[in-house]
Structure 1
């Protein structure tokens, strides 16, 4: 009886581990509202009606320049960015990777580059971070 319970618990733990490993591969296909982690993202401006940026403990810098796309990237080793597309809305979320003892004085920075002729909605929310707009 004890062997059957032990085998059942081992099989359940292996199944749970496999589900966690495969989750990242299939999440974008089966769950379109799922956000994916990325180091950088780029999209043509005609595909986006609104841009939503949110950050937690990271700084955000929006730069308008002569370009053909909307691009975003994280700088610094302590930050991570999540990208989610819902219809014609592009959601960018920046977070700090957790407590970084050695990077206490260097905050991660999310840089969003937009074209000069982008005249649609841009929403920026931050908690404990600064927002800078240039251009």
Structure 2
């Protein structure tokens, strides 16, 4: 399978809408943390089962080994998520749920899609570990 075909197949999987938000300065009056949206667009959130399914559909393991229960796929034009960024799913099966970026988005010299490992909202990153 050639790179363009793989890229198109992965692009077709991104049927949900996701928002990546980054912690900014605290509100001057309330002291509450304020987040700024760094990406709002198409994406796919895959559970471990979904990651295995993508491997079977494509016939190649483009997501690689990961200890993450969930991974976020975004188009190559999306910004790189940073550790601790919030990922909100606004459409699709996971609508209304929140995760945190567990690691900076994977990058390489040859890319098909952006892949970010995620930690659930109540996981270690949410607890400040």
TM range (shorter): under 0.3
Structure of higher CA gyration radius = 1
Higher percent of residues as strand: 1
TM-score normalised to the size of structure 1?
Answer: 0.22
TM-score normalised to the size of structure 2?
Answer: 0.23
Does 1 or 2 have the higher relative contact order (CA < 8 Å, sep 6+)?
1
Higher percent of residues as helix: 1
